[in-house]
Amino acid sequence: MNRIFPCAAIAVFVFSGLYAVDRSRAESPVVSLRSNDLTTIVAGKARKFGRLVGDSVVAGFRKPQDAVEWTVVAPKADDYAVSVIFSSPHRHTMEIACGDSVVTAPSVMRTWEGRPFYWRQEFPGVLHLEPGENRIRFRLLDPVSEVRGDPRKVSIVGLASEFALYSIELGTPAARKAQRERAKAIRGDTSWMIEGKYGLFVHWSALSYPFRGDKPRAEWFQESVAMFDVKTFADAVERTGAAWVTFTATHKGFYWPGPNEALDA
């Protein structure tokens, strides 16, 4: 029997186009850390020091004084494991500090072509936070002082020409262990895919262009959803010999090819 599965191809972080000019040096919003889970904060939410730019992804690290700072509220005094998501064509020494508690790590270099264009790195050791408000600061101890190009025009589609910080992740070691255990518990059984040997992935969204005419993509998308003939599609799949079909339900922009109670609420 043919099996059809919806699949959501959702990027963890959605950024648009190019880095925007930073228009504010105001205090960063206060973020409350979860006591039993990981908390991820985008770099653009941090207060910027020096000549850093970026409303979502932060770039422009030229001197050790260039830094970003988040204000977080810890529910109690505890040690927190720290990770960052970034991209960089050069190796740097990264530092994250909160008061006298400091962790450092050499940045991992990219060793592959194509996606992903950014990667996650866990720091060794832990960062100690006190109960209540804490200020966490990130900087490069050895930034590249001379970088060609404007950091405001570093595209996220492709490896950045300089160090670019996307986000920071904080969580107690116990929370990180619990996350790994949850991931194992909900891991799906994919034996049906292996046993089926051959299947089809259909990647289609509101960003797809129409086959004919010059209608706007969103208008064509809605019309195509109404025109979709399930029986004709299933018959065509059966003729290919595919054992299963997976639809990409959404990609980047959250436009779903059908009603969705959670999003429509």
My answer on whether omega of the bond before 116 falls inside 30° of 0, hence cis, is yes
pTM for this model (two decimals): 0.63
So what's the pLDDT on residue 183?
86
Tokens of 10: 């959702």
Rounded CA separation 42/54 (Å): 11
pLDDT along the chain (265 residues), means of 10: 40 33 57 88 91 87 94 94 92 96 93 81 94 96 72 50 90 87 86 91 73 72 81 94 85 62 57
- CB-neighbour burial class of residue 81 (10 A; exposed 0-12, middle 13-18, buried 19+): buried
So what's the pLDDT on residue 26?
56
Q: Which domains does the chain have, with CATH numbers?
A: 30-182 (2.60.120.260), 188-264 (no CATH)
